[in-house]
Structure 1
């Protein structure tokens, strides 16, 4: 137990160091630079993204693996879900209501960041060891910056192997199933849940294998069906809760803004904790500047890199500004964040919904969480296998898949604190090569955007 405590303490120190001021400046400051240097162009072409998602410019003969809408759905399936449900709850538990404001900041600058990173993911696609066309930060670095920058590419791929793991999704999915079904129905005792958690982990792993076998094409088809439906369903639930407490909505927004600059509700009352928590959870939620979403956008069928950038910039809007805000309002309006000592993650959000829907609250949340968490698990496998193949080639891909599926089971019974810190820490490492390469290549994106919008969306 002492070793476990020491390991957890070391992870806490690593996360605190990784998400220090330099990285916050790189993510937020870098995003602001991209926003200003592009003259806010991404925000002026949101309408064009709708045309692209409708398939107006689709050509099945274009290079790539999936259409624009499937690429976006796959990217969103990697961000929507437990990052928006459990992640927001963790942000409020640690950083207080003010952390939500800093999550919004990551989304606002993240629109520009995603435009640039996704455009680069298509602009600098490269061949993997088996000759298949691939996109992602490691290929952007290799193809766009040259061999002398390959250590950055390897850094991203290594961090991706550790950060893009299914343990958080597995952990929180099983926790919600346990607390919504097993404990209330008396299937397990509160002190003896290991067997139940393990069994669910195995079932989740086997189901994931069925989708994983179909690779990105099956993942894309699965995501494009599940993600939109679950977002609409969750929005309906949260709007009911917000409507129930509508008189308190202005006060909650005032609390978010005031606490963002005072830090009074944060753990220890430290403003730095509010800012670091909000930005790190925002980055975990929408992945802007992290680079993982570029692995999906790089698979889009297109000969116009800017098109995928236009599609990708919708991600932070849907993910953080809409879905995360709804979750935050539910938690803050119901007041569970002030009376949930010892309750964290998805359980805190479930308690919030129980205030309005009673015993049905966790069950309704379950309907949304399980499909999205599952879609995240299979999407992360796709991300991880691309990182693995970049480092080791496709020969040992089956070994990685076996380890990944095993981690789904391990995540079901692991400590939430350890799981959360490993992933958050690796996300910080992934951001370094992603943002560095994006800032170095941003002028090429700007020139490509000037040419593209003059031809296809003159505004």
Structure 2
């Protein structure tokens, strides 16, 4: 068993290593250059699309632009924004945040291309329903000879979408912040109760399909981002005198790497810091993994570029806003220098330091909403993968398997399973990025045509 655990840990570490980052960041840079940064000049237009200015209920699809974005965001805004940022700062210091920003800018371009393709090359499932996502744009855009790549994405998606890591971390946070400090005995029974509560909440939402998932996400995501924003604003106000100092350090330390404690890369500590920041950013916003196109592919639109522009806002909200809030909270309170804590405990210390008595509980509310909303969208991703593999009439079976894994994640220490899921999740990027890079010229052509129609007021 120990050997299997080590094997799974090595697998996860290898998959999330340099080759994947080259594919995600290098591929993203290629897409950014290929589009000549043109998508960034349309951010204002993207906001208008998101607000519903161009919504047409008669367009093909199942959910609105806003619901598609919030469904995608509900999966990416989670423990990576709270625990992942803390890990990056504890190892890399303030400079790691700058390289997370770089990852987000590149990720915005990747999300534009993958989600535009999700609408451009929608396919039909076995029930004749219009569907979008990497497996469909591989089949429709590249042809049936590329089916093994689509199958690889779907098989990896079945395992990668399981919520074991998220549930495990949420249960740990509830134990550490709420139960143990208040004298409640923490163990299998308390974990089982947490698991069953999560099962009840999740089952009510996910058994209602994408319609109910998207409506719930549309209500939860804006509220949770606002709550987190207000919480961190309080922390910044309490420590206002040091905010300029640490904000400046994000830029200066990015190239000096004075606080970097990790391994050197390409013979230098700055290289190691760049690798750390980009890896944490990619892990946070999931650009290029292929999950977001599964949600955006269900949007009601006949204009692929519009959905790509809406999807592009995802990494900006996820990494440039939410991750930056976490980073500033940790930096200005000084806990990154005064404690040996890591992950979610470090962020909890920052909240407790600035808001004694209730800060940690406020963070727990944010963690709970972030994590629970992730459970909804990942179940949809997994069931969509199963639908592609064995038929839409059998996709509901995935939900029962998914719900059972929630109890498993809450009650057991699953180092091996978590590493396996983590690694398989990352493997989804290979078919997604390869097909996106090959199909990129078609997206560029569609973008040019859309901009022309926009200029002539024909869209």
State the TM bucket, normalised to the shorter chain: over 0.9
The verdict on how the C-alpha distance between 1:328 and 1:418 changes in structure 2, with shifts beyond 3 A counting, is farther
- The residue number in structure 2 matching 1:303 is 302
Offset at residue 248 of structure 1 (A)? 2.5
Could you report, residue by residue, the CA deviation over 1:323-375 in whole angstroms, capped at 9, with x for unpaired residues? 1011011112223233443x443222111100011120111112222122111
- The residue number in structure 2 matching 1:446 is 444
Offset at residue 119 of structure 1 (A)? 0.3
Out of 13, 16, 19, the position equivalent to 2:16 is: 19
- The residue number in structure 1 matching 2:187 is 193
- The residue number in structure 2 matching 1:217 is 211
- The residue number in structure 2 matching 1:353 is 351
- The residue number in structure 2 matching 1:240 is 234
User: CA–CA distance in 2 between the matches of 1:278 and 1:345?
Assistant: 15
User: CA–CA distance in 2 between the matches of 1:309 and 1:444?
Assistant: 13
User: CA–CA distance in 2 between the matches of 1:262 and 1:418?
Assistant: 36
Could you report, residue by residue, the CA deviation over 1:244-265 in whole angstroms, capped at 9, with x for unpaired residues? 2233234434544455446564
Offset at residue 142 of structure 1 (A)? 0.7
With 9-18 and 445-454 compared, the bigger mean Cα shift is at: 9-18
With 396-405 and 255-264 compared, the bigger mean Cα shift is at: 255-264
Offset at residue 108 of structure 1 (A)? 0.7
Structure 2: 5+ residue stretches without partners:
none
- The residue number in structure 2 matching 1:158 is 155
User: CA–CA distance in 1 between the matches of 2:187 and 2:257?
Assistant: 37
1:98-117 alignment, distance < 5 Å: 98-117=95-114
User: CA–CA distance in 2 between the matches of 1:43 and 1:412?
Assistant: 41
User: CA–CA distance in 2 between the matches of 1:451 and 1:186?
Assistant: 64
1:421 aligns with 2:415: no
Out of 55, 58, 61, the position equivalent to 2:58 is: 61
User: CA–CA distance in 2 between the matches of 1:75 and 1:61?
Assistant: 23
- The residue number in structure 2 matching 1:227 is 221
- The residue number in structure 2 matching 1:174 is 171
Cα RMSD of the aligned pairs, angstroms, is 2.1
User: CA–CA distance in 1 between the matches of 2:45 and 2:167?
Assistant: 36
With 138-147 and 399-408 compared, the bigger mean Cα shift is at: 399-408
Contact 2:262 2:273 in 1 (8 A): no
The verdict on how the C-alpha distance between 1:258 and 1:66 changes in structure 2, with shifts beyond 3 A counting, is same
Structure 1: 5+ residue stretches without partners:
none
Could you report, residue by residue, the CA deviation over 1:357-405 in whole angstroms, capped at 9, with x for unpaired residues? 1120111112222122111101000011111111222344343211111
1:139 aligns with 2:136: yes
Contact 1:42 1:111 in 2 (8 A): no
TM-score normalised to structure 1 length = 0.93
Out of 382, 385, 388, the position equivalent to 2:386 is: 388
Could you report, residue by residue, the CA deviation over 1:265-303 in whole angstroms, capped at 9, with x for unpaired residues? 445443455344322321221111111011000000001
Contact 1:48 1:457 in 2 (8 A): no
The verdict on how the C-alpha distance between 1:86 and 1:458 changes in structure 2, with shifts beyond 3 A counting, is farther
Offset at residue 308 of structure 1 (A)? 0.2
With 12-21 and 271-280 compared, the bigger mean Cα shift is at: 271-280
Could you report, residue by residue, the CA deviation over 1:96-132 in whole angstroms, capped at 9, with x for unpaired residues? 4433222211101111111111100011111112221
User: CA–CA distance in 2 between the matches of 1:407 and 1:441?
Assistant: 36
The verdict on how the C-alpha distance between 1:108 and 1:432 changes in structure 2, with shifts beyond 3 A counting, is same
The verdict on how the C-alpha distance between 1:301 and 1:367 changes in structure 2, with shifts beyond 3 A counting, is same
- Helix, strand or coil for the counterpart of 1:173? helix
Could you report, residue by residue, the CA deviation over 1:416-438 in whole angstroms, capped at 9, with x for unpaired residues? 75565334422321111111111
- Helix, strand or coil for the counterpart of 2:181? coil
User: CA–CA distance in 2 between the matches of 1:227 and 1:357?
Assistant: 24
Contact 1:167 1:411 in 2 (8 A): yes
Contact 1:20 1:276 in 2 (8 A): no
The verdict on how the C-alpha distance between 1:427 and 1:96 changes in structure 2, with shifts beyond 3 A counting, is farther
Could you report, residue by residue, the CA deviation over 1:424-456 in whole angstroms, capped at 9, with x for unpaired residues? 422321111111111101111111111112112
The verdict on how the C-alpha distance between 1:458 and 1:358 changes in structure 2, with shifts beyond 3 A counting, is farther
User: CA–CA distance in 2 between the matches of 1:152 and 1:265?
Assistant: 41
- The residue number in structure 2 matching 1:411 is 409
User: CA–CA distance in 2 between the matches of 1:266 and 1:416?
Assistant: 30
The verdict on how the C-alpha distance between 1:124 and 1:333 changes in structure 2, with shifts beyond 3 A counting, is same
- Helix, strand or coil for the counterpart of 1:131? coil
- Helix, strand or coil for the counterpart of 1:184? helix
User: CA–CA distance in 2 between the matches of 1:205 and 1:121?
Assistant: 30
- The residue number in structure 2 matching 1:121 is 118
The verdict on how the C-alpha distance between 1:26 and 1:375 changes in structure 2, with shifts beyond 3 A counting, is same
User: CA–CA distance in 1 between the matches of 2:336 and 2:164?
Assistant: 24
